[in-house]
Amino acid sequence: MIKHIITVLFIGIYSLALSQYSFTPQKEIQCTPIKSQDRTGTCWSFATSSFLESEIIKKTGSQIDISEMFIVRNIYLDKARNYVLRQGKANFSQGSLSHDLIRIMAKDGIVPETAFTGKYPNEKKHNHSELEAGLKGFLDGVISQKKISPKWPKAVNAVLEVYLGKAPEKFTYDGKSHTPLSFAKHIDLSPDNYISLSSFTHHPFYSKFILEIPDNYSNGSYYNVPLDELLTTINNAIDNGYSIAWDGDVSEKSFSAKEGIAILPTDDSRKDLFAAPGSEIKVNQENRQLAFESFETTDDHLMHIVGTAKDQKGNKYYIIKNSWGEISPYKGYLYMSEAYLKMKTVGIMINKDAIPKTTSNKLFVNR
pLDDT of residue 16: 43
pLDDT of residue 259: 95
Number of H helices, E strands in the chain: 11, 13
Strands 333-337 and 261-262 turn out to be parallel
Residue-range definition of the domain harbouring residue 245:
1-30+191-367
Beta bridge partners of 166: none
pLDDT of residue 295: 97
Beta strands in 116-193 (DSSP E): 171-173, 176-178
Distance CA 183, CA 171 (A): 9
**Could you tell me if 48 and 183 lie in one domain?**
yes
pLDDT of residue 227: 98
**Could you tell me if 90 and 22 lie in one domain?**
no
**Could you tell me if 239 and 366 lie in one domain?**
yes
Note every long-range contact of 139-145, with CB atoms under 8 Å and residues 24 or more positions apart, other chains counting.
139/80, 139/83, 139/84, 139/88, 139/92, 140/88, 142/84, 143/83, 143/84, 143/87, 143/88
Residues 273 and 18 sit within 8 Å (Cβ to Cβ): no
**Could you tell me if 317 and 240 lie in one domain?**
yes
What's the average pLDDT block by block, 10 residues per block, for the chain (367 residues)? 50 49 96 97 98 97 97 98 96 96 97 96 94 97 94 97 96 97 95 97 97 96 98 98 98 95 94 92 98 97 98 96 95 98 98 96 78
**Could you tell me if 4 and 98 lie in one domain?**
no
pLDDT of residue 367: 52
**Could you tell me if 177 and 44 lie in one domain?**
yes
Nearest to 282 by CA among 338, 232, 239: 338
pLDDT of residue 365: 72
What residues contact residue 4 under an 8 Å CB cut-off, 6+ apart? Answer: 30, 31, 32, 33
Distance CA 206, CA 363 (A): 5
**Could you tell me if 185 and 62 lie in one domain?**
yes
pLDDT of residue 4: 53
Which of 189, 212, 234 lies at the terminal end of a domain, its last residue? Answer: 189
Angle of helix 357-364 relative to helix 227-239, nearest 10 degrees, comes to: 120
